[in-house]
Amino acid sequence: MNPLIWIIPVLPLLSFVLLLLFGRRLKEASAHVGALLTLGSLVLSIVVLLNQWGGEPVKETLSWLTFGETTLSAGYLVNPLNALMLVIVSLVSFLVQVYSGGYMHDDDRFPIFFAYLGLFTFAMLGLVLSPNLLQLYVFWELVGVGSFLLIGYYFYKREARSAAKKAFIMTRIGDVGLFIGMILLFWQVGSFEFDEIFAAVEAGEISEGWITLTAILIFVGAIGKSGQFPLHTWLPDAMEGPTPVSALIHAATMVAAGVYLVAAMFPLFQASEAALTTVAVVGGFTAIFAATIGLAQADIKRVLAYSTVSQLGYMMLALGSSGYVAGVFHLTTHAFFKALLFLAAGSVIHAVHTQNIHEMGGLWKKMKWTAPLFLIGAMAISGVPGLSGFFSKDEILAATYADGRFGLFWIAVIAAFLTAFYMFRLFFLVFTGESRGIQEKVKESPVSMTFPMIVLGILALIGGLINTPFATYLSDFLAQNEALEIHHHETRWWIPVVATGVSLLGILMAWLVYVKKKVTRFSESAPDLHYILLNKYFIDETYDYSFVKGTRALSYFWYYIDRFVVEGLVGLVTGIVGWFSKIGSRFQNGQVQLYSSVAFAGMAILLLVVAWIGGYLT
């Protein structure tokens, strides 16, 4: 079919190179270059997706390295999941670049920003197209580099610098897991290719224990990238980057890469019950854990960040409960509404120049476009019936229930309630009531910023229709992949009702607390709990005191060992040599008499020795 699939990731790379080379001359036009090239990728991705609809998976590889009987290959693979990811990534990237054209317009390093966006998009598209684990890993790290550059874009801010480092290091911890898992799989199967690995798993060539081990190790990589507990702490800190970056990285692409990885390796996970349970438990715990933290945060982007962590937990929960379709479906809808929320938040920040929600308020009348769009996003994520989040969240709950994980099911329900509550807390605090900060000239953002939000808003509204209980387009589409066994579980009628009930309850609670002020605020009724939540369960502090301080203490220990013991020994040796040479160099003073004295003394010693040995000294 389409021989130009490889063009899709190359276009953003071209944008990166062009902007790096000619960015200074292009100045504001860089946005057009970046956006247009990404638009090209988007169009091609849509073509690929449409072709994939009912078509066969496409895989083309070139041999890259051959050693022994093993050949490493590089190429591209398009199957329904990849095609869907291509569209999501290129769409969100395109919209974010359009949006950034307005948001970043007075930044000094404007072209560089778009160059980084191009690099990141290239890496993400390449990751999605990878036909084997090795190539995936290469792009996986490239995504890490792109996110490092983007999060640290305001590198002159100390927080941004440390956030970038933190993101890089925390995800790197996960990457090590992925790498080990990958190598172990290669050892067991003898190939990095996805299809060969799945065939080996299918044929039972790998023992149960190995499958579980490798699956969990690969999941560790996903934990790092997708910000799951306990490696989630980088994600909220990464909000130090520019807001469009947050929308791109933390809504649709990089964090989704972890979920994508689990989805792409799903046949491996399916073969091990223990691995699935691990995924489900970690996902469920992360979902409720992050949701509770989200209740207390005051920074608009941090609330959204914890919301992202929580929603990613949902996806993991779905995948762990064998709800492949539910996970991918939620990944899709979440990409839309979370990108929308981030962009709307960016629009708000752009207008009021603060991120503290307690300093906002009353923006509904001032921002005619942003406010309704934010409301759509909030309703979608809360699961208000009819919107995209409603359907995907129902899928997840149904999958969890059908898989027999009742404890996790109820956790997910509670998390849904909390999600609705904190999203509407955010909404009410920002957009309703009286203005609490200095907001003299709040203006609506320019068209370049509202347009992407409108597109995403529409998708958030209707995106759920691709997989309703009545029309399972997505499910059928994904089921084309033969490697998967997709469970069709009948939807129980009461699950949507419960889900709707809890989300409406959450919204009502938020309304009562923050608008009507009938119920006392959380921070007043339970100050201790609020304090804990505000400080994110002290996870960062725990890490700081255990790993960071521990490592530092160990480093200092070895530093002093090195400084005094090792270096002392080395210094002793060099000192002795230096001492000898200093003495030697004193003989080298240019005086012929001294030279001849030494030469003569040497000759005398030689004579003496020869005479002594020869027995002449009698």
Partner 1 sequence: MSSVPLSVYLVLALILFCIGLFGALTKRNAVIVLISIELMLNAVNINLVAFAKYGINPGITGQIFSLFTITVAAAEAAVGLAILIALYRNRKTVNVDEMDIMKH
Partner 2 sequence: MNGELIVFFILALVAIGSGILMLNLTKVVHMVIALVFTFLSIAGLYVMLSAEFLAFVQILIYSGAITIIMLFGIMLTRHSDRTESKIGVPRTVLVLGGIVAFFLVMFFQINDLSFGEQATVLHVDNTEKIGVELYSKFVIPFELTSVLLLVALVGAIVLAKRDDEEEAKDNE
Which residues are near partner 1 by CB under 8 A?
Answer: 588-593, 596-597, 600
List the single partner that 588 binds among partner 1, partner 2, none, CB under 5 to 8 Å by kind: partner 1
Asked if residues 335 and 259 have their Cβ atoms less than 8 Å apart, the reply is no
Contacts with partner 2, residue ranges (CB under 8 A): 593-594, 597-598, 600-601, 603-605, 607-608, 611, 616-618
The DSSP element (H or E) to which 466 belongs, if any, is none
List the single partner that 570 binds among partner 1, partner 2, none, CB under 5 to 8 Å by kind: none
Which residue lies nearer to partner 1 by CB, 21 or 604? 604
> At 306, is the secondary structure helix, strand, or coil?
helix
Asked if residues 129 and 86 have their Cβ atoms less than 8 Å apart, the reply is yes
Q: Classify strands 58-67 and 70-78 as parallel, antiparallel or unpaired.
A: antiparallel
List the single partner that 589 binds among partner 1, partner 2, none, CB under 5 to 8 Å by kind: partner 1
Min separation Cβ 611 and partner 2, Å: 5
Asked if residues 296 and 534 have their Cβ atoms less than 8 Å apart, the reply is yes
Which residue lies nearer to partner 1 by CB, 570 or 598? 598
Tell me how far apart the alpha carbons of residues 480 and 478 are, in angstroms, rounded to a whole number. Answer: 5
List the single partner that 590 binds among partner 1, partner 2, none, CB under 5 to 8 Å by kind: partner 1
Tell me how far apart the alpha carbons of residues 293 and 270 are, in angstroms, rounded to a whole number. Answer: 31
Which residue lies nearer to partner 2 by CB, 572 or 605? 605
Min separation Cβ 598 and partner 2, Å: 7
List the single partner that 471 binds among partner 2, partner 1, none, CB under 5 to 8 Å by kind: none
Token readout for 508 is 């009502």
Token readout for 483 is 């490697």
Tell me how far apart the alpha carbons of residues 568 and 584 are, in angstroms, rounded to a whole number. Answer: 24
Which residue lies nearer to partner 1 by CB, 462 or 603? 603
Which residue lies nearer to partner 1 by CB, 593 or 618? 593
Tell me how far apart the alpha carbons of residues 399 and 402 are, in angstroms, rounded to a whole number. Answer: 5
Min separation Cβ 579 and partner 2, Å: 17
Min separation Cβ 594 and partner 1, Å: 8
Which residue lies nearer to partner 1 by CB, 434 or 589? 589
Min separation Cβ 168 and partner 1, Å: 54
Min separation Cβ 604 and partner 1, Å: 10
> At 356, is the secondary structure helix, strand, or coil?
strand
Q: Which is it for the CA torsion 296, 298, 303, 305, positive or negative?
A: negative
> At 58, is the secondary structure helix, strand, or coil?
strand
Which residue lies nearer to partner 2 by CB, 440 or 589? 589
Asked if residues 87 and 45 have their Cβ atoms less than 8 Å apart, the reply is yes
The residue among 201, 132, 198, 200 whose CA lies nearest residue 481 is 198
The residues near 297 (Cβ < 8 Å, ≥ 6 apart) are: 303, 306, 534
Tell me how far apart the alpha carbons of residues 16 and 122 are, in angstroms, rounded to a whole number. Answer: 9
Min separation Cβ 602 and partner 1, Å: 13
List the single partner that 617 binds among partner 2, partner 1, none, CB under 5 to 8 Å by kind: partner 2
Token readout for 9 is 């990731």
List the single partner that 490 binds among partner 2, partner 1, none, CB under 5 to 8 Å by kind: none
Asked if residues 268 and 214 have their Cβ atoms less than 8 Å apart, the reply is yes
The residue among 352, 337, 254, 301 whose CA lies nearest residue 160 is 301
- For 202: left if phi > 0, alpha if psi spans -120 to 50, otherwise beta; the answer is alpha
List the single partner that 548 binds among partner 2, partner 1, none, CB under 5 to 8 Å by kind: none
List the single partner that 603 binds among partner 2, partner 1, none, CB under 5 to 8 Å by kind: partner 2
> At 133, is the secondary structure helix, strand, or coil?
helix
Which residue lies nearer to partner 2 by CB, 1 or 601? 601
Min separation Cβ 595 and partner 1, Å: 9
Min separation Cβ 591 and partner 1, Å: 5
Residues facing residue 356 across a β-bridge = 299
Which residue lies nearer to partner 1 by CB, 546 or 581? 581
| Residue 529, number of CB atoms within 10 A of its CB | 14
End-to-end C-alpha distance for the chain, whole angstroms: 106
Which residue lies nearer to partner 2 by CB, 406 or 612? 612
Min separation Cβ 569 and partner 2, Å: 31
Which residue lies nearer to partner 1 by CB, 545 or 600? 600
In 222-345 the beta strands, taken as DSSP E runs, fall at none
Which residue lies nearer to partner 1 by CB, 493 or 616? 616
How much is the CA Rg of the chain, to the nearest whole Å? 30
Min separation Cβ 576 and partner 2, Å: 21
Min separation Cβ 589 and partner 1, Å: 6
List the single partner that 592 binds among partner 1, partner 2, none, CB under 5 to 8 Å by kind: partner 1
Which residue lies nearer to partner 2 by CB, 298 or 598? 598
Is the bond into 230 cis (omega within 30 degrees of 0)? yes
List the single partner that 604 binds among partner 2, partner 1, none, CB under 5 to 8 Å by kind: partner 2
Tell me how far apart the alpha carbons of residues 371 and 450 are, in angstroms, rounded to a whole number. Answer: 11
Min separation Cβ 593 and partner 1, Å: 6
The residue among 13, 32, 172, 21 whose CA lies nearest residue 97 is 32
